[in-house]
Amino acid sequence: MTTEPYKRIPCGVYDHLELAAMRRTPVKIRYRDANHQLFSIEDVLVNLKTIEKVEYAFLGSGLQIRLDWIIQFNDIVLQDALDCTE
């Protein structure tokens, strides 16, 4: 894994991710990896977990993505989302 410090995602986005995981609905995710390479995937979000103070999305394909690496989740662009304090 990376040593890059984790940055929490906005609470509202986390809520949408959590709902998608509970419903096991297909999602579209754009994200960057540890090398800052961009990826777009369609998969089923099956779980969200915190491991060593870093939050991850676990997908049906077995892929796990750090939540702060997600750029877009379905129609939600993360940099446009308000954080928990706003």
Q: CA dihedral in degrees (60, 42, 81, 32; nearest 10)?
A: 90
3-class secondary structure, 76? strand
**Residue of 57 and 83 predicted with greater confidence:** 57
> Phi and psi dihedrals of 5, rounded to 5?
-60, 140
Enter the pTM of the model. 0.84
Is the dihedral angle over the CA atoms 60, 23, 51, 65 positive or is it negative? positive
Q: How confident is the model at residue 77 (pLDDT cuts 50, 70, 90)?
A: confident
Domain range list for the chain: 11-77
Following CA atoms 23, 8, 78, 70 in sequence, which dihedral angle do they give, to the nearest 10 degrees? -70
The CATH architecture assigned to 11-77 reads Roll (2.30)
pLDDT tens digits, residue range 20-61? Answer: 999 998 999 999 998 989 999 999 999 999 999 999 999 999
User: Under a CB-based contact definition with an 8 Å cutoff, are residues 45 and 28 in contact?
Assistant: no
